[in-house]
Amino acid sequence: MTKSLTHLQRLEAEAIHIFREVAATFTKPVMLYSIGKDSSVMLHLAMKAFYPAKPPFPFLHVDTTWKFKEMIAFRDSEAKRLGFDLLLHSNQDGIDQGISPFVHGSNTHTHIMKTVALRQALDKYGFDAAFGGARRDEEKSRAKERIFSFRNAQHSWDPKNQRPEMWKIYNTRVAKGESIRVFPISNWTELDVWQYILQENIPIVPLYYAAKRPVVERDGMLIMRDDERMQLLPGEKLQEKLVRFRTLGCYPLTGAIESDAVTLPEIVSEMLIARTSERQGRMIDKDEAGSMEKKKREGYF
């Protein structure tokens, strides 16, 4: 217990320790870069962990082809600014089949374009460790997951048989084909993430800030029409509203909130009085009970 370190310093040190542990013990690590605020924080931490060197692993974006256009633009500018090695992967079979969240629903879309795509990419490059930005405060099954979370050769998580994780001693040993998902910001809360972004001035996708955006009300959520692929249903109408996003993902599955928060302090302030969790804006978690655990067993992050 250290009083001399602040709460955020302690979380930062823990994350840096985890990044270095992976770089020192795995042969082929990768960081999953999903462009959201948690990824921005992860990227920042990775830069810190290896300074003055660059992170000794590539960054992989699994592109479902349904991300917000602003996310893609932000991704490319960050890769250029920081000079990290960016790998892109999309599930070509899914694209050929024309998988769409509008037509096939969120479950099928997420399974084929995210979970399967991720497995394809991990197999293609033979990564033995993959960093993810998941936090334990996000969801109940995440609260149960280890920081170094073992996956068998089928990328599957066995929640009933996790390796004990004692102190800061991580068991990083895997057999051929097996891998470990690593979550350096497991112990951060949503508030910690925002507070850190504010303290460190970390760039984030502009979609987190309120702006006038074209949205449609559908299934109780405000969906932003980011391109022509979104067709209006009978009775729906496109409206310009002052909105922002608490989390980012595929635009058809991500609900906006009405807000006039245009600065970081305003976002934090809004968060402090929020009465709903950030995952409420994600359609995939609501489809069925225990859906996150099920997806994780299938190889989802």
Partner 1 sequence: MNTVAPIEASAAEEIRAYMAEQEKKSLLRFLTCGSVDDGKSTLIGRLLYDTKLIFEDQLAALQNDSRKHGTNGEDIDFALLVDGLEAEREQGITIDVAYRFFSTPKRKFIVADTPGHEQYTRNMATGASTADLAIVLVDARQGILRQTRRHSFIASLLGIRNIVLAINKIDLVDYSQAIFDRIVADYQDFASKLGFQSIQPIPLSARFGDNVISASANMPWYKGPALLEHLEDVPLADADEERPFRFPVQYVNRPNLDFRGFSGTIASGVVAPGDEVVVAKSGKSSRVKRVVTLDGDLDRAVEGQAVTLVLEDEVEVSRGNMLVAPSARPEVADQFAAHLVWFAEHALIPGRSYILRTETDQATATVTDLKYRIDINSFAQEAAKSLDLNEVGVVNISTQEPIAFDPYKSNRSTGSFILIDRLTNATVGAGMIDFGLRRASNVHWQALDVSKASRADQKNQKPAVIWFTGLSGSGKSTVANLVEKRLSSLGKHTYILDGDNVRHGLNRDLGFTEEDRVENIRRVGEVAKLMVDAGLIVLVSFISPFRSERRMVRELLADGEFLEIFVDTPFEECARRDPKGLYAKALRGEIKNFTGVDSPYEAPENPELHLHTVGRTTEALASEVEKLLVEHGIIFNYDQSSWSI
Restricted to residues 147-176, the positions that interact with partner 1 (CB under 8 A) are: 159-160, 162-169, 171, 173-175
Count of residues engaged in binding partner 1, rule: CB under 8 A: 78
Of residues 92 and 269, the one with the C-beta less far from partner 1: 269
* Phi, psi (rounded to 5 degrees) for 67: -75, 160
Asked if 48 is part of the footprint of partner 1 (rule: CB under 8 A), the reply reads yes
Q: State yes or no: residue 2 binds partner 1 (CB under 8 A).
A: yes
Told to check if 6 binds partner 1 by CB under 8 A, we report yes
**Distance in Å, CB of 54 to partner 1, minimum:** 8
Helix axes 264-272, 190-200, angle to 10 degrees: 160
Distance (Å, whole) CA 252 – CA 54: 35
Residue placing its CB nearer to partner 1 in the complex, 109 or 142: 142
Q: Under the criterion CB under 8 A, does residue 142 sit at the interface with partner 1?
A: yes
Query: Is the Cβ of residue 115 or residue 141 nearer to partner 1 in the bound state?
Result: 141
Residue in 20, 28, 104, 218 binding partner 1, rule: CB under 8 A: 20
The interface with partner 1 within residues 184-203 (CB under 8 A) comprises: 186-187, 189-191, 195, 198-199
Nearer to partner 1, 92 or 154 (CB): 154
Residue 211 interacting with partner 1 (CB under 8 A)? no
Q: Are 273 and 267 in contact, with CB atoms under 8 Å apart?
A: no
* Residue number with CB closer to partner 1 (7 or 237): 7
Stretch 232-251 residues interacting with partner 1 (CB under 8 A): none
Nearer to partner 1, 239 or 263 (CB): 263
CB of 144 to partner 1, least distance (A): 5
| Residues 273, 269: Cα–Cα separation, whole Å | 7
Tell me if 283 contacts partner 1 by CB under 8 A: no
Residue 144 in contact with partner 1, rule: CB under 8 A: yes
Query: Minimal distance in Å, beta carbon 228 to partner 1?
Result: 32
Task: State the minimum distance, in angstroms, from the CB of residue 241 to partner 1.
Answer: 17
What pairs with residue 62 in β-bridges?
89
Q: Does 23 bind partner 1 (CB under 8 A)?
A: yes
Q: How far is Cα 6 from Cα 12, in angstroms, rounded to an integer?
A: 10
Name which of 62 and 197 has its Cβ closer to partner 1. Answer: 197
CB of 94 or CB of 281, closer to partner 1: 281
Choosing from 7, 81, 176, 237, the residue that interacts with partner 1 (CB under 8 A) is 7
**Does 108 help bind partner 1 (rule: CB under 8 A)?**
no
